Amino acid sequence: MRILTASLILLTALGLTGCGMGPTVFLNRDYNYQFLERVAVVPFDNLSDNQGAGPRATRIFLARLLASESFDVVEPGEVTRALDKFTAGGRFSELTQEQILNIGKELKVQGIFVGSVTELSELRSGSSTTNIVTMVARLIETEKGSTIWSATYSSGKRGFWASVFGGGGKTQTEAIRACVDGILKTLIK
């Protein structure tokens, strides 16, 4: 009976702690964030095996950023035009300092968000599926071209009870949205 009681207590404790990991965050505390009024969101790179993950993450990030009403956000078409003018393609999360300064002047922004989807995968267990997403986002100020904020976040991990008893996980879109929300909460309160 004691073994059964101890086992139930252990299982309950494991279930309450969950299996998620918090964000990894860099925040330049010397930067005056009140200076940021107008920002641009550069299309996110896709480093995962899932085609289309970058554009989907970009659209969701842009929508959630607009919903926060924290910044004036440049329209995506204007961002694309500036990128075409100052870059030759490649990974947008790897813009040079000169490109950042030029894009900042062209768009009249104080900050540029860049990011990448590093993982978007399905984890199958029996009849249930869990979508796992990991994203990295950075905010680069356009006066000097330096990173002032960066966050990495993973979402979509199944909880303990879903692992034991089964149950559906989040769709890919829901997992991306949760990941974006987790990232943005580290910058926007």
Span 90-118, pLDDT tens digits: 678 889 999 999 999 999 999 999 999 99
Token couple for 44 = 């996110």
Q: Say which CATH number the domain at 39 has.
A: 3.40.50.10610
**Strand, helix or coil for residue 189:** coil
Return the C-alpha torsion angle 147, 97, 71, 65, nearest 10: -70
The percent of residues above 70 in pLDDT, for the chain, comes to 81
pLDDT at 77 over 90: yes
DSSP letter, residue 34: G
Residue 10 resides in a domain = no
Least confident of 115-119, 137-141, 155-159, 177-181: 155-159
Q: Highest-confidence range of 65-69, 85-89, 163-167, by mean pLDDT? A: 65-69
Total count of residues recorded for the chain? 189
Nearest CA to 149 among 71, 82, 91? 71
Residues 6 or more apart whose CB falls under 8 angstroms from that of 53 comprise 46, 117, 120, 176
Residue 189 resides in a domain = no
Contact 184, 62 (CB under 8 A): no
Total domains present in the chain: 1
Residue 15 resides in a domain = no
Look at the block and give the residue holding tokens 């964000």. Answer: 23
Residue 94 resides in a domain = yes
Give the model's confidence band at 8: pLDDT under 50 very low, under 70 low, under 90 confident, else very high: very low
Nearest CA to 149 among 114, 180, 118? 114
Write phi, then psi, for 53 (nearest 5 degrees).
-65, -40
Residue 73 resides in a domain = yes
Residue 162 resides in a domain = yes
Give the model's confidence band at 158: pLDDT under 50 very low, under 70 low, under 90 confident, else very high: low
Residue 14 resides in a domain = no
Nearest CA to 63 among 177, 189, 188, 179? 177
The percent of residues above 90 in pLDDT, for the chain, comes to 65
Residue 5 resides in a domain = no
What average pLDDT does range 10-20 have in this prediction? 40
Taking the C-alpha atoms of residue 113 and residue 71, their distance in angstroms, rounded to an integer, is 12
Q: What's the chain's average pLDDT? A: 84
Query: What is the span of the domain harbouring residue 88?
Result: 21-184
Question: Model pTM?
Answer: 0.82
